[in-house]
A and B are shown apart, each in its own frame.
Chain A
Amino acid sequence: MFPKLDPLLHSELRLAVMSILAGVDEADFSYLKKQTGATSGNLSVQIDKLTTAGYITVEKGFKGKMPCTTCKMTPAGREAFDSYVTALKEYLATGA
């Protein structure tokens, strides 16, 4: 029996955001937007969903006079991401 893939992560944009955050300490909204190529509205919605799930934290502040939204992966998010990757590998290993 295969572990069920986390539906929250099995979405292209949310998975891309989590993949970026898995490799860095934190990233601001503009960086995530640039790296994913997503629109601001779409990215905001997906970040909200990840925040509600407790996978990431969002901190709003200012850099100089510019507003700055910084996202960071939580330990729960990292655990979910690791489980997701493990599950994917199991699927692929058995050709499911």
Chain B
Amino acid sequence: MEQNKEMTAQESLKLITETMNSSRKEIVRHSGKYFVLWGILLTVFSVLIYILWKTTGKAAWNNLWFALPAVGFPLARWSKSKEHPVHVENFISRINGGVWGTFGLFACSVALFTVLFGVFSDSPLASLVMGASLTAMIVLLFGMAETISGIALKNWAIKIAGWLTGIGGMAIYYITGANEEQLLIFTFAGIVLAATGLIIKYQYK
């Protein structure tokens, strides 16, 4: 690119449009990396907890879910620190980060609340009901977060993945019932999330 090149008005506007589009695409493509990272983690954790629950018969293995953000956030931070050049942020990427951060906060809070309710409540039935509906709540929140991400990033693949996860996850929940099989919902959600990330990276290559 030359600094002294004489440009016509059309060339100038074309340059502005192309540069801004390229920057927007770069931001969307970059978000794909985090979709893949969290998708893989979600899949691995759900399969691991499913196997442990199935083989031991203890639902308490679900507490391992609290290790997911403990592993995921440092990994995401480490990955960001290794970026060169440093990735840019704009309003859209901040919205995207905010949506997923809020999802994480709500999911962890509601899960913690359910665990504490189970410990301190006298009614085992009430805690069972709360525990069973926890999966449905989280999968719906997850689907919503992904759909909002798709709207913010103006990407149909993410929007469709969000609907699939939220609505599909609820369908699996009603089919499997409140047992270890319901963890397959999160395996499904993780695979959809990672696949979405790969689609984004491929689309905006």
Chain A residues packing against B (C-beta within 8 Å):
10-16, 19-20, 22-31, 33-38, 42, 45-46, 63-64, 66, 68, 70, 85, 88-89, 91-92, 96
Contacts and interface: CB of A to CB of B under 8 A. Distances in A.
B15 A89 contact: no
Given A36-B1, A37-B1, 5 more contacts: A12-B5, A13-B1, A15-B7, A45-B3, A63-B81
A22 B15 CA distance: 13
B24 A12 contact: no
B55 interface: no
A96 B19 contact: no
B23 A35 contact: yes
Contacts of A45: 3
Interface stretch (B59-67, B87-95, B124-132): B87-95
Contacts, number: 90
Interface residues of B, number: 28
Nearest to A92: B9
Main secondary structure of the interface of A (DSSP, over half): helix
Contacts of B10: 92
Given A15-B15, A19-B20, A96-B9, A24 B3 contact: no
Instruction: Return the 5 tightest CB-CB contacts between A and B, nearest first.
Output: A30-B85, A19-B19, A31-B85, A24-B88, A91-B9
17 contacts: A13-B2, A15-B7, A15-B12, A19-B19, A22-B20, A23-B20, A23-B23, A25-B94, A27-B88, A28-B85, A35-B26, A46-B3, A63-B86, A85-B13, A85-B16, A92-B13, A96-B9
Most B-side CB within 10 Å, residue of A19, A37, A45: A19
A31 B3 contact: no
A66 B26 CA distance: 23
A31 B81 contact: no
A94 to B, nearest CB: 10
A6 to B, nearest CB: 11
B9 to A, nearest CB: 4
Contact of B12 (A10, A24, A64, A96): A10
A38 B19 contact: no
Contacts of B56: none
